[in-house]
């Protein structure tokens, strides 16, 4: 089989397409013939040794896959050979075959194509956990989404709208804002390229407040970080929740007098940790997301598809913040 491997720390151009023996599932495991692998921002971090997980090399990035079960190990009764499944292994997905724990595989809805399935659990799972479990977002509240045109950002826009919130999208260009609006945002703002000086930060905070309304945002979903975090926090409503999701613009420094003065909460969102620590809660969220997908409220917005040999280009498009919505690597005859 073919796999796109990281042999040394580096960028997307350091990956090498390599032929490997097909992996064999052990007890409690299944081998999945990968049909599609969703690309996420952590893929650019893990190959550069900048992610919290550091698998031994060589390894294939790719933390989200969809495919068919090709073989099962000892003791496995579900899933069965031929079943269509999704999994979130963390890495290893940029390969034509991957071994996964049988318990970690989820059955795909019959109507869901492989490419959409490979772009679903990571982004929608993250955003649902953030908005429902951590943010307590309710109908009628205002949600401000930073990075609203990215994978998790679009998921937050769609989920926020499905929950009955007023969604304000924030993005780095008119094109991205228009995309987020097409995905369901009610209003929006284009934020400037960083870094921001003091006056620029004040102007951005005022713009956020203007877009969110006099009371501010009940929930801020920050998938960007950097210089945009403090202006967004200043736009939080009294008793609001500021969700820490990601840092593609850098890890921010927050003046802690702001949450005191606003009586607001700064809340961390680590979906991977939640899945490991609360599998029942994660399964409950997955069922809710698949129900929303079946109802037409959610749909992965795939802007680009790449073959396995161009997986490095797929990761680069996210690392450079050029991608809209989701990017996927397809194999075989997916979708």
How many residues appear in the chain? Answer: 335
Unique residue bearing structure tokens 């769609």 = 158
What local confidence, expressed as pLDDT, does residue 232 receive?
Answer: 97
SS3 for 299?
coil
Is residue 252 scored above 60 in pLDDT?
yes
Q: Are 160 and 143 in contact (CB under 8 A)?
A: yes
> In 3D, which of 72, 96, 88 has the Cα closest to residue 20?
96
Q: What is the pLDDT of residues 45-65, one digit of tens each?
A: 999 999 888 999 999 999 999
Backbone angles phi, psi at 286, to 5 degrees: -60, -40
pLDDT at 321 over 80: no
pLDDT exceeds cutoff 70 at 333: no
Give mean pLDDT, residues 215-244: 97
Q: Do domains 2-120+300-330 and 123-272 have the same CATH topology?
A: no
Q: pLDDT digits over 186-220, tens only?
A: 999 999 987 899 999 999 999 999 999 999 999 99
| Residue 334 binned pLDDT confidence (cut-offs 50, 70, 90) | low
Confidence category of residue 70, pLDDT binned at 50, 70, 90: very high
What is the predicted pLDDT for the residue at 324? 87
Of all residues in the chain, what percent carry a pLDDT higher than 90? 91
Q: What is the pLDDT of residue 13?
A: 95
Both tokens of 250, joined, read: 């850098």
Contacts of 199 (CB under 8 A, 6+ apart): none
Q: CA dihedral defined by 288, 297, 44, 312, rounded to 10 degrees?
A: 120
Q: What is the pLDDT of residue 77?
A: 95
What is the model's pLDDT at position 318?
83
CATH architecture of 2-120+300-330: Alpha-Beta Complex (3.90)
Domain ranges of the chain: 2-120+300-330, 123-272
CATH assignment, 123-272: 3.40.50.720
Average pLDDT, the chain: 95
Q: What is the mean pLDDT of residues 72-95?
A: 96
Band of the pLDDT at 86, cuts 50, 70, 90? Answer: very high
Q: Residue 332: pLDDT above 90?
A: no
pLDDT of residue 335: 53
């Amino acid at each position: 089989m073919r796999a796109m491997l990281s042999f040394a720390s580096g960028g997307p151009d350091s990956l090498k397409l390599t032929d490997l023996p097909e992996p064999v599932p052990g007890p409690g495991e299944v081998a999945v013939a990968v049909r599609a692998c969703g690309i996420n921002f952590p893929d650019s971090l893990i190959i550069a040794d900048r992610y919290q997980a550091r698998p031994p090399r060589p390894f294939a990035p790719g933390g989200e896959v969809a495919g068919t079960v090709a073989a099962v190990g000892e003791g496995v009764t579900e899933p069965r050979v031929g079943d269509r499944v999704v999994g979130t292994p963390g890495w290893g997905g940029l390969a034509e075959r991957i071994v996964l724990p049988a318990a970690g595989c989820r059955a795909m809805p019959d109507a869901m194509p492989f490419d959409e399935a490979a772009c679903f659990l990571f982004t929608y799972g993250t955003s649902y956990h953030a908005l429902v479990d951590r943010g307590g977002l309710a109908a009628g509240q205002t949600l401000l989404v930073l990075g609203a045109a990215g994978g998790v950002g679009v998921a937050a826009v769609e989920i926020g709208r499905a929950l009955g919130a007023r969604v304000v999208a924030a993005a780095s260009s008119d094109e991205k804002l228009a995309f987020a609006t097409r995905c369901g945002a009610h209003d929006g703002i284009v934020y400037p390229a960083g870094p921001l000086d003091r006056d620029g930060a004040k102007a951005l905070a005022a713009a956020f407040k203007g877009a969110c309304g006099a009371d501010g945002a009940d929930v801020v979903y920050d998938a960007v970080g950097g210089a945009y975090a403090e202006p967004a926090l200043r736009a939080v409503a009294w008793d609001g929740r500021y969700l820490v999701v990601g840092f593609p613009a850098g890890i921010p420094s927050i003046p802690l007098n702001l949450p005191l003065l606003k009586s607001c909460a700064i809340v961390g969102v680590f979906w991977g940790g939640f899945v490991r620590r609360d599998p029942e809660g994660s399964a409950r969220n997955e069922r809710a997301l698949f129900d929303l997908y079946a109802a037409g409220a959610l749909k992965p917005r795939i802007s680009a598809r790449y073959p396995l040999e161009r997986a490095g280009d797929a990761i680069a498009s996210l690392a450079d913040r050029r991608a809209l919505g989701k990017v996927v690597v397809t194999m075989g005859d997916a979708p």
